[in-house]
């Protein structure tokens, strides 16, 4: 199989000072030659070519360009990954491909139905635990229940519901339609499937740290043949160590997620790093208030018997804190929509 480099930095143009100048004698004066009709001068041809190059790309051209340049990078050194296997951001192609870092030689493969791009991928002895609020969602039981009643309870805190939340996010993402979208902390893929079926994006990558959430995500995807053949991929990754090249992604969605992240500041900084100039980040979460905790002690008591101790110390923020966090990570044009304890907020990578 052909070994492909996923992202190649453009070669720097040689410096004019490094090239010896070639002095040609001036031509002897003589009668000017008449220009043949129908043939433009070199200057006119160059001007026409420059005008064509300056024309903005069509939506179709932008989508083709995005698909030709793959975005996966090593989570250790952020160098482009080399790929052995069929090209494309889709489940069959990625499942049949192997990936290797071009710098540190670390290898990555598809595990089950997702590509594991965590730093600890492939380790045999080492293991580590995330905070309880993160480990909770790695449980097979919680992963199974998430779309079967768990997420629906968020309406008690003001979440407007999946369809309305999806449309609100789509409105924010209008400026980057046709680009690549990451659905980080995708869970069971509630919004992943909606984004993929919308036809708005050239590719959708569902990302989560929980192996069991990604398996649940695939269980729902495989029930729809259109999704199985769509430009849709499942990736396991750490939100604080995103395995993507800098300035490579157009849109990032994080639904009901930031309150579960071990370090929201590191995560938003990573989001800012991988967004292209003009790229858009949209997140939802629970605002800090006495009534915003959907995970009451009573609700979690049955889970303790199965998954062990459960710590409900989630990161809840005020609207001012979320705006300050986005701005401190380099995002601009902050805006938000608040309904009771629900907030959808957005920031943009500056051009």
Which residues, listed in sequence order, are joined to residue 287 by a DSSP beta bridge?
A: 317
DSSP secondary structure code for residue 231 in this structure:
S
Q: How many CA atoms lie within 13 A of 119 on its CB side?
A: 12
Q: Which residues contact 54 (CB under 8 A, 6 or more apart)?
A: none
Nearest Cα neighbor of 183 from 193, 175, 168 is: 193
Q: Which two tokens stand for residue 284?
A: 């939802």
**pLDDT for the residue 137:** 83
Which residues, listed in sequence order, are joined to residue 107 by a DSSP beta bridge?
A: 100
Structural domains for the chain: 130-349 (3.40.50.150)
**Cα 6 to Cα 81: distance, rounded to the nearest angstrom:** 6
Q: What is the pLDDT along the chain (351 residues), one digit of tens a residue?
A: 444 444 444 434 444 434 344 343 444 444 444 444 443 443 443 344 334 334 444 444 444 433 344 689 999 999 989 999 999 999 999 999 999 998 999 999 887 789 999 999 989 899 887 777 778 888 888 888 888 888 888 998 999 999 999 999 999 999 999 999 999 999 999 999 999 999 999 999 999 999 999 999 999 999 999 999 899 999 999 999 999 999 999 999 999 999 999 999 999 999 999 999 999 999 999 998 765 554 544 444 454 455 555 445 788 999 999 999 999 999 999 999 999 999 999 999 999
pTM of the model: 0.75
CB 73 within 8 Å of CB 116: no
């Amino acid at each position: 199989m052909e070994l492909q480099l996923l992202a190649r930095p453009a070669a720097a143009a040689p410096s004019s000072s490094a090239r010896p100048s070639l002095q040609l004698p001036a031509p002897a004066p003589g009668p000017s030659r008449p220009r043949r009709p129908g043939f433009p001068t070199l200057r006119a041809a160059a001007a026409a070519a420059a005008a064509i190059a300056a024309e903005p790309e069509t939506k179709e051209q932008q989508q083709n360009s995005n698909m030709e340049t793959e975005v996966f990078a090593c989570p250790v050194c952020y160098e482009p990954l080399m790929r052995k296997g069929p090209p494309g951001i889709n489940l069959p192609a990625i499942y049949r491909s192997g990936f290797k870092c071009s710098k540190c030689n670390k290898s990555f493969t598809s595990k089950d139905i997702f590509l594991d791009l965590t730093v600890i991928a492939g380790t045999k002895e080492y293991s580590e635990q995330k905070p309880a609020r993160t480990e909770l969602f790695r449980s097979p039981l919680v992963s199974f229940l998430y779309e079967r009643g768990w997420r629906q309870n968020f309406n008690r805190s003001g979440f407007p519901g999946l369809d309305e939340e999806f449309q609100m996010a789509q409105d924010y993402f209008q400026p980057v339609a046709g680009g690549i979208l990451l659905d980080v902390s995708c869970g069971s893929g509630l919004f992943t499937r909606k984004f993929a079926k919308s036809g708005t994006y050239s590719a959708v990558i569902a990302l989560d740290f929980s192996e069991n959430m990604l398996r649940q995500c695939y269980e729902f995807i495989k029930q729809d043949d259109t999704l199985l053949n769509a430009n849709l991929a499942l990736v396991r990754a750490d939100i604080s160590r995103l395995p993507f090249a800098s300035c490579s992604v157009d849109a990032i969605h994080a639904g009901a997620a930031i309150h579960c992240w071990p370090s929201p500041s590191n995560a938003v900084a990573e989001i800012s790093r991988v967004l292209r100039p003009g790229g858009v980040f949209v997140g939802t979460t629970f605002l800090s208030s006495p009534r915003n905790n959907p995970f009451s002690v009573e609700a979690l008591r049955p889970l303790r018997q199965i998954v062990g101790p459960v710590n409900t110390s989630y990161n809840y923020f005020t609207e001012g804190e979320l705006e300050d966090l986005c701005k401190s990570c380099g995002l601009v044009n902050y805006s938000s929509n608040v309904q009771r304890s629900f907030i959808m907020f957005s920031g943009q990578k500056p051009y």
